[in-house]
Amino acid sequence: MTVEVLKNWNKMKGHLKREFPILNNNDVTQRTGKDEEMMQNILFKTGKTEAEMTLFLNDVLAK
C-alpha cells in the first residue's frame, strides 16, 4: 500500500466495505505495524489480486 492510501485510510475503508460487503470493521481496521497483514486478509476475502486492489484504491484516491 502506498503512503497516500494509508494517510486516507478512513476514506478507503468506507469504500472497501461498500464495494465488498463481505468485509467487516475488523477486516479494515488499521493496527500499528499490521498493514501488510490487513491487506493480505482483504485480498483473501475479496478474491482480488494485489494489482486489482491497488487499482481500486488508487481510483478511490482520485475521486
Contact present, 28 and 16 (Cβ < 8 Å): yes
Residue reference for cell 484516491:
61
Residue-wise pLDDT tens digits, 1-24:
778 888 888 889 999 999 999 999
| The pLDDT of residue 5 | 85
Q: How crowded is the C-beta side of 28, counted as CA atoms within 13 Å? A: 21
| The pLDDT of residue 46 | 96
42 pLDDT band, cuts 50/70/90, is very high
User: What is d(CA 63, CA 46) in angstroms, rounded to the nearest whole number?
Assistant: 22
Rounded-to-5 percentages of helix, strand, coil across the chain:
70, 0, 30
| The pLDDT of residue 44 | 96
Average pLDDT across the chain, whole number: 91
| The pLDDT of residue 6 | 84
